[in-house]
Structure 1
Amino acid sequence: MIRNPILRGFNPDPSIVRVGDDYYIATSTFEWMPGVQIHHSRDLANWRLAARPLDRIDLTGRPDGCGVWAPCLTHADGLFHLVYTDVRRYGRTTVGGAAGASLRDFHNYLVTSPSVEGPWSAPVHLNSSGFDPSLFHDDDGRKYLLNMLWDHRPARNRFAGIVAQEYAPAERRLIGESRVIFEGTALGLTEAPHLYRRDGWYHLIVAEGGTGWDHAVTMARSRSLSGPYELHPDGPVLTSRGRQHATLQRAGHADLVETPDGRTWMTYLCGRPLPARGRCVMGRETAIQPVRWGEDGWLRTEAGDGAPMETADTGLPAAPWPEETARTCFDGDRLPDAFQWLRTPCPERLFSLTKRPGRLRLFGRESIGSLFEQALVARRQTGFRYTATTRMAFMPAHYQQAAGLVCYYNSSKFHYLHVTYDEALGRCLAVASVLPDSPQGDVWTQPVALPDGEIELRVDVDFDRLRFAWRMEGDDEWRWLAKEFDASILSDEATAPGQPNFTGGFVGVACQDMAGTACPADFAWFDYRLRD
């Protein structure tokens, strides 16, 4: 039985493919490394992380919300093909006011591999005309790249339509002319194209309405790949728009897969807002549901209402994976799969699992929220209520050194419980919060003096409420900080003007040494326990 979302926590822009009895979904990772998450399932309900292919991509300096967007995963000619966008410039780029030019930089690439686990090829640059690329393999063996077209000029429709151009695999480049094949509908913001061939028709699926509350899945079809395309007679095929009480909001950015019995499934992104707050602290997640082809040749949801489904029966034999344990011990030589870091392809500069065996050592690097070399290792928030704890050994000698437990969305949205140094107190504990939509701005709590020794740090998140606690090694009781923090800021919807918000809440550990001496912090374990 499917219970949506199937990929919980920040996993947007899903692209799905079936190879034999195996299903794979690729999702966006933005500034988090390594780039792209690929999950694997044999029953459409149970999924495990199988690969993060882009371990060599350099995202250093990418602004928040940029980096790796909208991967498309396909399989043909014995190879997995993964196309994706590297966004280098997106937010705060309007020149000349709201009606001025909007200068942004998107670069689309292709990597291939005979196996999802790799090795993956070096990236091939395809074009830079827009974002959300997808590769279509036609029945005659020819291949075409589709992407949305960006129009930066003043007073223009920024989303200028869907373009298609042939790709020559032998030459590993695009050939022929790029043509606009679909200009979109009145919903606007036309993006995320995927193309399918069925019963003599080319079926085009796109996302429209923006990736917020008006997000929608639109379909059109044509007898010719280059168009013209006629619109689906029902309007959006799937949307949460106008369904204010639906559990799954923001539904859109869809892809299709067919099971061996001929049943069609649609995977799409969605968001689960906090009750009464309307903020999606887990960002955009991945859902899936069955759809059907009607006698008129058009695709619809099984109920015909275009609504997202919370549950569905796959009809496939259950194939569960081993359950994730609550405690992560750092006793291997590689970072556990649940965790990622930010931007750099040189993680050895940020952390080590061998410098002190059995511990995750973070090397103090740049300030919390740096876009360049930030020693922060974190995992996704996957539920509204959770507890996370860690044990840390850290002896700062200067106020420029800090380390601790962080609840993080991006450089302008986080709560950071950290150990640092104060000339009057010595080693001490404080919380730094960056609040994007509050007149308070940044908030730093008064430091609390600490004794020497290892310290355990804890965060409890209960929907929109967040509290921190600490205790020294060997103590039984937790010491709770009096202040309660707003967990809802760790969301897409809590934002400063002009800032893209496309990721989701993370919880993890961090270490800074702004004096450049790389003072380390050692973490013995990390617990993450849902309380839903």
Structure 2
Amino acid sequence: MKKILKVMLLLVATQIIAQTAPETFENPILSGFYPDPSICRVGDDYYMVNSSFEWFPGMPIHHSKDLVNWELIGYGITRPNQVELPKGLKDSRGIYAVTIRHHDGVFYLITTCVNCDGNFYVTAKNPAGPWSDPVWLGSRGIDPSLFWDDDGKCYYVGHANISGLNDWPDKNGAWIQELDTKQGKLIGQAKQITHGHAANARWTEGPHIYKKDGKYLLLVAEGGTGFQHSVTMHHSDSVWGPYVPFHSNPVMSHRQLGKDFPVHSVGHADLIETQNNEWWAVMLGKRKKEDFSLLARETFLTPVKFESEEGYPLPVFNPGIGHLSFEQKRPNLPWSPVKKVEEKDEFVNSELGLEWNFLRTPYSKWYTLEKGSLTIDVRPEVLDSLVNPSLIVRRIQHHKFEASTKMVFNSKKSNEQAGLVVYRNSTNHIQLVKEKNELVLIATKKGNRKEMARVPFKGKEVYFKIEGDNIRATFSYGTSENDYKTIGDTQDLSIVSDEVAGGFSGPFVGMYATSNGVKSKSKANFDWFIYKENK
């Protein structure tokens, strides 16, 4: 009887899911700072990774069953001594574009640590981790990728101009060399396989090789990761080339749509074939609102159809449309919603949630989680320096959002501060902090620090809140969740946009504490943190 009941409940649940499954999906599929996507499939499971630059843990990994609903399951870099993002690492350096691949039961992440130790890969049997220590390769360039041919040989595909010829500005390209994964080293000769689709192609990078219908296809990004960004495709009869550009290049770009189009800088793609023989592409793009790209580079999804051009399979991106769509028919895959991250984190678990990040490598643990509270050590490090400050933040993922927290901080020293912060990089951030018996709102734009407001505040317990409306933000404080008062005028949130802050990272919001260069034994306690979309 129990078995029959379980079967009936399963059938009912299946029917409910089928009835509620939407016919379309919305872009982006990963909102907020998720650039340079790479994807692979194992059976009916999809795994995607993004670059992370100076942020730790590094290389966020998401899982999906339907290419639309994604769940963050882990990171490729989780241990301080695994791959170091050291003190002094500049903004937008660190972990550049990552490629994820799977071969013979093993997952591979290959990437570059810029201004660290260069190109490396890590491996895992479970994509959620743990991942291995790095295998350093000592190779040139950035954005490496891996390709296994039918004979089992593995090839490293990298970015660089190794030809020695520099006959036009910003000439880069892709090159190939065999990789012995048992020895963990490159073997044989390296060969340049393209400099891009045209004689003046700039910043050719992000290469991936695929094999379809017996032909080799080389996908690269060109034009840089700004407005001129694009995707081009090249074909060959041999993995070693020569690779010939398709006449239809670029196969994807938004630069031809003009600067007023709401999505721009589209490029850096990776292709995936579903178990139902559909092809799709993931790529980065930026959404522009009121002339600013607040959320930086995000991950988008679009269908791909292969057509024949001169006997070679040519990918047509978003057939009949030719550019990314905000909404369109979803992949022919079972609708598989994932559990959403709770809006309110009450810090009741023994470890921080996967959504939380640190700046650079935290070599020591300067926070604790106890009795439903997050306690952060007040340390000398500050936001304006290239260090690992006492900063715990999460991505801003919506143009309209709200973030708030309850803090207990009882320092009587004017150099000690703790509170709420919006952060893009060391020269662009806004902080609302408690300082002795006052609350201070400070904005730093392009390295220029300015006090925006200061009010008296007695008591050790304070509530902080920010309400963001694209490029505008209101900061508030109170003695309870129902008693907020605005501090200062409406703030300019374009400080953390691409157009003002620059670089390759994105905006974060969270908790911060500092003693401004002086050793301290003080601590700041945060009872909870709320992040939510304001519709």
Give the Cα–Cα distance (whole angstroms) in 2 for the partners of residues 136 and 246 of structure 1: 35
| 2:75 and 2:129 in contact (8 A); partners too | no
Residue 369 of structure 2: aligned partner: 353
Tell me, yes or no, if structure 1 residue 147 matches structure 2 residue 158: yes
Q: Give the aligned residue type for 1:58.
A: E
Give the superposition deviation at 1:431: 1.2
Paired with 1:482 and 1:446, the residues of 2 have a C-alpha distance of 5
The aligned counterpart of 2:94 is 67
Corresponding position of 1:101: none
CA contact (8 A) 1:236 1:306 kept: no
Distance 1:125 1:150 in 2: 20
Amino acid at match of 2:340: E
Counterparts of residues 467-478 of structure 1 (less than 5 Å): 467-473=474-480, 476-478=482-484
Question: SS where residue 447 of structure 1 aligns?
Answer: strand
Matches within 5 A, 1:175-324: 175-184=187-196, 185=198, 186-244=200-258, 245-275=260-290, 277=291, 279-296=292-309, 297-312=313-328, 313-324=330-341
Alpha-carbon distance in structure 1 between the residues aligned to 2:67 and 2:120: 28
Q: Distance in 1 between matches of 2:488 and 2:261?
A: 35
Query: 1:389 matched to which residue of 2?
Result: 404
**Structure 2 residue matching 1:493: 3-state secondary structure:** helix
TM-score, scaled relative to structure 1 = 0.90
Q: Which of 400, 408, 420 lines up with 1:405 in the alignment?
A: 420
RMSD: 1.9
Count the aligned residue pairs: 498
Residue by residue over 1:414-453, the C-alpha shift from the partner in whole angstroms, topping out at 9 and shown as x without a partner, is 01001113xxxxx11111111128xxx3211342111113
Q: Does structure 1 residue 45 correspond to structure 2 residue 61?
A: no
Hey, what's the Cα distance between the residues in 1 that align with 2:173 and 2:383? 39
Give the match for residue 456 of structure 1.
463
Aligned partners of 2:452 and 2:488 also within 8 Å: no
Q: In the aligned structure 2, how far is the partner of 1:233 from the partner of 1:86?
A: 35
Range with bigger deviation, 321-330 or 399-408: 321-330
Distance in 1, matches of 2:522 and 2:246, equals: 60
Change (3 A) 1:106 1:214: farther
Secondary structure at 2:365 match in 1: helix
CA 1:3–1:69 in 2, change beyond 3 Å: closer, same or farther?
same
Mapped partners of 1:42, 1:72: distance in 2: 19
- Matched residue, 1:9: 32
Secondary structure, aligned partner of 1:294: strand
Partner of 2:19: none
1:2 Cα deviation from its structure 2 partner: 2.2
1:510 & 1:108 partners in 2: Cα distance? 32
Cα deviation, residue 150, structure 1: 5.8
Match of 1:432 among 426, 442, 448: 442
Query: Structure 2: where are the runs of 5+ without partners?
Result: 1-23
Structure 1 distance, partners of 2:488, 2:133, is: 51
Distance in 2 (alpha carbons) for counterparts of 1:154 and 1:465: 45
Distance 1:9-1:302 versus aligned 2 partners, 3 A rule: closer
Aligned to 2:431: 416
CA gap 1:489/1:325 in 2 versus in 1, 3 angstroms: same
Q: Is the 8 A contact 2:33 2:507 kept in 1?
A: yes
Q: Return the offset for 1:153.
A: 11
Aligned twin of 2:525: 522
- Which deviates further from its counterpart, 150-159 or 456-465? 150-159
Provide the secondary structure at the position in 1 that maps to 2:494: helix
Change (3 A) 1:108 1:311: same
2:342 to 313, 320, 325: 325
Q: How big is the shift at 1:247?
A: 3.0
Indicate the residue corresponding to 2:112 in structure 1: 85
Match of 1:397, SS state, is coil
Q: Give how far 1:387 is off.
A: 1.0
Deviation at 1:55, TM superposition (A): 1.1
* More displaced stretch, 406-415 vs 243-252: 243-252
- Aligned-residue offset at 1:529: 1.5
Write the letter of the residue equivalent to 1:188.
R
Superposed displacement of residue 85, structure 1: 0.7
C-alpha distance after superposition, 1:248-273 (max 9, x if no partner)? 22110000000011111010001111
Q: CA deviation at 1:146?
A: 1.1
Residue aligned with 1:242, SS: helix
2:377 corresponds to which of 363, 368, 375: 363
Which of 460, 473, 476 lines up with 1:466 in the alignment? 473
In structure 2, what is the equivalent of residue 503 of structure 1?
505
Deviation at 1:518, TM superposition (A): 4.0
Letter in 2 for 1:198: K
Is the Cα contact below 8 Å between 2:172 and 2:202 reproduced in 1? no
Identity of aligned residues (%): 35
1:305 Cα offset (Å) = 4.9
Deviation at 1:158, TM superposition (A): 4.2
Distance 1:302 1:469, change over 3 A: closer
Q: Write the deviation string for residues 144-200 of structure 1: whole angstroms up to 9, x where unpaired.
A: 111111689999744421111110011111111111111113341100000001122
Partners of 1:347 and 1:408 lie apart in 2 by: 22
Deviations 1:448-500 (A, max 9, x none): 11111310001111111111110024x732110132211112122214xxxx6
2:175 is aligned to 163
Higher helix fraction (1 or 2): 2
Q: What displacement does 1:403 show?
A: 0.6
- The correspondence for 1:490, drawn from 475, 490, 496, is 496
User: Offset at 1:370?
Assistant: 2.7
In structure 2, do the counterparts of structure 1 residues 518 and 411 end up closer, same or farther at CA, with 3 Å as the change threshold? farther
CA-CA distance at 1:310 after TM superposition: 1.9
- Match of 1:102? none
Alignment partner, residue 117 of structure 1 = 128
The answer to whether 1:58 aligns with 2:84 is: yes
Alignment partner, residue 424 of structure 1: none
* Matched position secondary structure for 1:377: strand
SS at match of 1:109: strand
Indicate conservation of the 8 Å contact 1:148/1:159, yes or no.
no
Higher mean Cα deviation, 24-33 or 152-161?
A: 152-161
CA distance in 2, matches of 1:336, 1:135: 31
Contact persistence 2:423–2:430 (CA under 8 A):
yes
